[in-house]
Chains A and B, each alone.
Chain A
Amino acid sequence: MSSQPPIPEPPILSVKSLSVALPVGADRPFAIHDISLDLRPAEILCIVGESGSGKSILSSTLMGALPRGLSIHSGGLTLGDIDLTAQSEGAWRTIRGRRVAMIPQEPMAALNPSAKVGRQIEEVFAIHGDLTPKARRAEALRLIQEMHLPDPERIAASYPHQLSGGQCQRICIAMALALKPDVLIADEPTTALDVTSQAQVLKLICELRDVHRQAVLFITHDLGVVADIADRIAVMEKGSLVEVGTADEILKRPTQPYTKALIAAVPSFEPKLRAPVPNTKPGHCLEVEGLAKTYGRTRALKPANLTVERATTLAVVGESGSGKSTLARLLVRLIEPSDGAALVNGHDLARLRGTALRQARRRIQMIFQDPFGSLNPRRSVGATVARAAELAGCTRQEAQARAKALLERVGLSATAYARRPAAFSGGQRQRVGIARALAMRPDVLIADESVSALDVSVQAQVLNLLRELQLELGLTIVFITHDLRVAAQISDRVAVMRSGEIVELADTASVILNPQHAYTRALIAAAPGRGAI
């Protein structure tokens, strides 16, 4: 999709050496510094950056909606013939929604929960135009239809919580498109969506460019998405522009080291050949037989069967609602199974109680998705890891020593022991989580979306760490993820789940390169950037 010839039109949006100052006392003087870029009609410009790159501040500046304490320090910003740095709040109110419009990151939260979505679309006309109520309603219905939403009348009469995430996002796009703005700013619009919803929304945005000649500023951290839809790419790091160019130039011939590192960190779709771990006793470490979970009338997990060889990695892939999280929680007995058994080296946790259960628990541990919620904020990280060791049978002294050793092994300094989680970054907290899990010397490690909340460069580091530990300790790993790329790189076998059942289970190369089930094929087709990155 990036093979369009560059259109030699004058830019509709022009940013020249723009700098936005942060309030006094922040960790750097500028939120964004000396940014220059142009956006032309019928073009998608992707702004790529990790957290802290300043890309969201840029989008806020373009809407005149900077948070309190931030202000434009210097530079130029023009939309057509309007100087956006010199507009009053009253003037901005006529510009927002009409000349520049935003597509938000969390579509359901971005809609008023107690108003019907049709009315919310009509509101754009009510604010800016002078259509009659009847005409507004007709326009809203027409827009909903243009978003390829079936049954527009029913959708317009729905409340946001009655629609899915993808549908809400299309409503937000309809609202943004309503007055045919000059510039559409999409701030991470697909990050909160499933991969299939994401594919549909991306297709819609490309249609906006192709059919409506919309200029789109697309902000994202996902290079796969960028590879699929960008005409031009701007790379940002820590508030500065690292490099800007056509999609081809940036993706195939990057010049800056940061860009090169960023692209290299994205897991490739080519399944990696993995050497077996030396000195492993052959056999199954984890055996799941008919494991199932039902909540009332919903079958969250239908009877599942799988085995995992010792010291190998199984990736469990699926979208939300597929049952993969339920499976993970059943394996560690965080929830009770309705049926079936899960055996870790022959021991079924679900059948044990009391001391036997506590001892058996040591064999299988978990690392979690959210780096902010997975550690007790009131305890030092050392104490957290040491407590895990104590529960595994160590004395206080032994536990502290083991904790110190583990924290160093996962790449944190010796001073980390006494510090609280708030002092660490997301990636560092995930490392603490790994140390905590390893403190019990488990046979099996369950990683529940453990890298999904991390920047792509940090993600690569954590995945490498897990591989090193697997080789060193002979760990069996079950890696839950929605990201097929991660699965391709780190696993020996892949299980694909949908609606509570495993639809495909085979070695990684077969699943990725030669999928048997229609759903797997659909998942792979929907994954952005395949082939380009």
Chain B
Amino acid sequence: MTNLTPVLSGLGKRLGVMALTMLTVSLLVFLVLEVNVDDVAVKVLGQFSTPDQRHAWLLQNGYFDPLPIRYARWLWGFVTGNWGLSTYYHADVRELILPRLAATGVLMGATLAVTVPVALGLGILAGMRQGSSVDRGVSVLAIITTSIPEFASAVFLSAIFVFGLGWLPGVSTLSGGVTIKELTLPVTVLTLSSAGYIARMTRASMVEAMASPYVRTARLKGASTARIVFAHALRNALGAPVTVIMLQIPWLLSGVIVVEVFFAYPGFGTLLYQASVNSDIYLIEACAMIGVVAVVVSQLISDLINTWLNPRLVRAIQKAALQDPTASVEATAG
């Protein structure tokens, strides 16, 4: 790349939009959960608190101040790492979240490490041999696996491997640290729910690339199928799957909640679940914000990878950033 300045300015614009998005998200979360002060008081003090107790508590914690001031205070708290106290666990929210986040990170990382190669591999294979039995097989497998909700596949797999064969533990509480045995079922369930979609998108992208004029040119130059796939089709076909993989991260974060609860895995998901069951407001707020940060960062990474893969997109991003700051690569890539 010869001139980096336009790329960097495009990146700068993108980061600005990210910040604005996070700000709007924070506003939404705040409004949804804290706008009704009575509700907040009930949730924090419990159902059996008296109106007087609630009133006193609200006054003491500044809940009768005007809304913008409360929001600013709340936001400042987040930015400085003061995330409040969990009403259920009676502990600092930040100290609760961080180790759980690490555990979920391990789970997500392991899932991606398994899902991405499997899904990309199957998708590329199916796309190369469009219409063959491999292709149809991959498509059917993909449809079936993505149709089974996470808790259902967890049930089915447990029935076979935990109750039936007894090979794997029924819960993954990580009481002895992280082990492969305890990770197996959760990772498998998550892989089953997301690999199918990625494989199909990859297949579609490969089919399109293999049918394109430049692949025809390569064929007419006498190139073998291997050369066509690896030197021509793949580089141009991988843009869409990379976007799709990154877009699966929000989906995975949802699935992770169900899987963690099912297998009692001590991660971010079970924490959020407990918080929702107990109406633990401050914990929920923090978890929501973190969830959004994860998604937004993954979108940024997806943009960067796409830029590296396709030089034409560099120009498109610059152009898009100049005209419309919310245009992301997925939109321009169609």
Contact = CB atoms under 8 A, between A and B. Distances in A.
Q: In the complex, are there CB atoms of A and B closer than 8 Å?
A: yes
Interface string B298-327: 000000000001111001000000000000
B214 interface: yes
A110 B315 contact: no
A110 B217 contact: yes
B236 interface: yes
A93 B256 CA distance: 49
A128 interface: yes
Interface string A315-336: 0000000000000000000000
Given A106-B213, A109-B214, A127-B227, A114 B220 contact: no
Given A114-B235, A114-B310, A161-B312, A96 B217 contact: no
Interface string B195-212: 000000000000000001
Contacts of A161: 311-312, 315
B141 interface: no
Interface in A48-74: 63, 65
Contacts of A111: 214, 217
Nearest to A98: B222
A115 interface: yes
A65 B223 contact: no
Interface string B215-237: 01111111110010001100110
Given A96-B219, A96-B222, A159 B312 contact: yes
A92 B220 CA distance: 9
A108 B165 CA distance: 59
Contacts of A114: 235-236, 309-312
Given A113-B236, A127-B227, A104 B222 contact: no
B222 A127 contact: yes
A500 interface: no
A95 B222 contact: yes
Contacts of A104: 213, 216-217
A217 to B, nearest CB: 14
A247 interface: no
Interface in B173-204: none
B218 A112 contact: yes
Contacts of A175: 217, 221
B232 A112 contact: yes
Interface in A134-173: 159, 161, 172
A94 interface: yes
Contacts of B223: 93, 123, 127
A93 B226 CA distance: 12
A172 to B, nearest CB: 7
A528 interface: no
A93 B223 CA distance: 7
Contacts of A109: 212-214
Interface string A472-514: 0000000000000000000000000000000000000000000
Nearest to B209: A112
Interface in A419-460: none
A96 B312 contact: no
Nearest to B215: A112
Contact of A159 (B220, B224, B227, B311): B311
A480 B223 CA distance: 43
A113 B220 contact: no
A115 B221 CA distance: 16
Contact of B214 (A96, A101, A110): A110
A124 interface: yes
Contacts of A41: none
A111 B231 CA distance: 12
- Point out which of A93, A104, A112, A175 has the most chain B C-beta atoms below 10 A from its C-beta: A112
A257 B232 CA distance: 47
B221 A124 contact: yes
A92 B221 CA distance: 10
Given A127-B227, A159-B312, A110 B221 contact: no
Contacts of B224: 93, 127
Interface string B257-280: 000000000000000000000000
Contacts of A98: 222
Nearest to A126: B227
A110 B213 contact: yes
A97 interface: yes
A263 to B, nearest CB: 32
Nearest to A106: B213
A110 B222 contact: no
A177 B311 CA distance: 27
A64 to B, nearest CB: 9
Contacts of B214: 109-113
B310 A113 contact: yes
B312 A127 contact: no
B157 to A, nearest CB: 40
Interface in B123-179: none
Contacts of B219: 65, 96
- Point out which of A101, A127, A175 has the most chain B C-beta atoms below 10 A from its C-beta: A127
B233 to A, nearest CB: 9
A59 to B, nearest CB: 10
Nearest to B224: A93
A97 B310 contact: no
Interface in A79-96: 92-96
Contacts of B309: 114
A102 interface: yes
Contacts of B220: 63, 65, 96-97, 101-102
Contacts of B310: 113-114
Contact of A128 (B222, B235, B315): B222
Contacts of A101: 220-221
B80 to A, nearest CB: 42
Contacts of A172: 217
A481 to B, nearest CB: 27
Contacts of B212: 109
A427 B217 CA distance: 31
B46 to A, nearest CB: 60
A183 to B, nearest CB: 13
B216 A65 contact: yes
B312 A113 contact: yes
Contact of B231 (A65, A94, A123, A128): A123
B222 A94 contact: yes
B235 A97 contact: no
Interface string A122-134: 0110011000000
A112 B219 CA distance: 12
Contacts of B213: 104, 106, 109-110
A115 B311 CA distance: 9
Contacts of B311: 113-114, 159, 161
A93 B222 contact: yes
Contacts of A128: 222
A148 to B, nearest CB: 22
A213 to B, nearest CB: 22
Contacts of B218: 112, 123
A113 B214 CA distance: 8
A231 to B, nearest CB: 24
A96 B223 CA distance: 9
18 contacts: A65-B220, A96-B222, A98-B222, A111-B217, A112-B235, A112-B236, A113-B214, A113-B311, A113-B312, A114-B235, A114-B311, A114-B312, A124-B222, A127-B224, A127-B227, A161-B312, A175-B217, A175-B221
- The 3 tightest CB contacts between A and B, nearest first, are A97-B222, A96-B222, A97-B221
Given A102-B217, A123-B231, 4 more contacts: A109-B213, A113-B214, A124-B221, A128-B222
Interface of A: 63, 65, 92-98, 101-102, 104, 106, 109-115, 123-124, 127-128, 159, 161, 172, 175
